[in-house]
């Protein structure tokens, strides 16, 4: 499997039940993700890693509530509860996630003024994380994605992976979605139309 990499998206405490931005059933995927991790020679993790007072937090926009939107310089931004603050327990990987075999952890969302859903680009769609170059340097041509949440960070990562020329699959059993105003079905359709394989 030298030409394949597993990319595990944001399996962090704040996205699991009890967390600040809990995805329903988010913790249920951990055993499935652990099984996948054992099967791959190349494992990469992403970690949401926001500074306190990040611009995507509703708390920094007076009069705004979580899940409302605001216009940012790079486009429309959904506002979120404060989550995955750098160094907090909420930003830690789920305690049952067997992540020590990961060869790389990509931290995203650490720039105060811009959010980052994708493992490949910030939300301006221009600022790269460096992941594409890392994969190419190692001769990896195919990526398999899993994690949280299906309709945001997993989907945007998958769409960018295809756009960067990688053969891309998403393991739906190892994902859970937020489903904000029908976003789950909409993003699954977008991924399929872009050529992402659903497995």
Active-site residue, from 108, 146, 151, 175: 108
Active-site residue, from 10, 14, 27, 151: 10
Active site residue 64: no
Q: How far is CA 193 from each of CA 93, 105, 136, 137, 145, rounded to the nearest angstrom?
A: 31, 29, 24, 28, 17
Q: How far is CA 161 from each of CA 25, 136, 197, rounded to the nearest angstrom?
A: 26, 12, 12
Active site residue 175: no
Q: Which residues contact 6 (CB under 8 A, 6 or more apart)?
A: 36, 37, 39, 40, 42, 43, 44, 143, 144, 145, 146
What is d(CA 180, CA 172) in angstroms, rounded to the nearest whole number? 18
Active-site residue, from 16, 84, 146, 153: 153
Q: How far is CA 144 from each of CA 5, 36, 117, 186, rounded to the nearest angstrom?
A: 6, 10, 17, 20
CB 47 within 8 A of CB 10: yes
Active site residue 108: yes
What is d(CA 51, CA 172) in angstroms, rounded to the nearest whole number? 30
Look at the block and give the residue holding tokens 């705004």: 64
Which of the residues are catalytic?
10, 108, 153
């Amino acid at each position: 499997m030298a030409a394949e990499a597993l990319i595990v998206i944001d399996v962090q405490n704040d996205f699991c039940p009890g967390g600040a931005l809990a995805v329903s059933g988010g913790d249920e995927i951990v055993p499935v993700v652990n099984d996948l991790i054992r099967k791959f020679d190349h494992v990469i993790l992403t970690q949401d890693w926001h500074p306190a007072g990040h611009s995507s937090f509703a708390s920094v926009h007076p009069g705004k509530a979580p899940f409302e939107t605001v216009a940012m310089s790079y486009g429309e931004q959904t506002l979120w509860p404060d989550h995955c603050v750098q160094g907090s327990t909420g930003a830690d990987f789920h305690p049952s996630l067997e992540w020590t075999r990961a060869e790389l952890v990509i931290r995203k969302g650490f720039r105060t003024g811009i959010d980052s859903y994708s493992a490949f680009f910030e939300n301006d769609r221009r600022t790269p994380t460096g992941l594409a170059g890392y994969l190419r340097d190692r001769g990896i041509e195919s990526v398999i994605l899993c994690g949280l949440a299906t309709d945001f960070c997993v989907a945007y990562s998958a769409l960018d992976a295809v756009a960067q020329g990688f053969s891309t699959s998403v393991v739906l059993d190892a994902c859970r979605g937020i489903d904000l105003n029908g976003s789950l079905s909409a993003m699954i359709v977008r991924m399929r139309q872009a050529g992402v394989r659903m497995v």
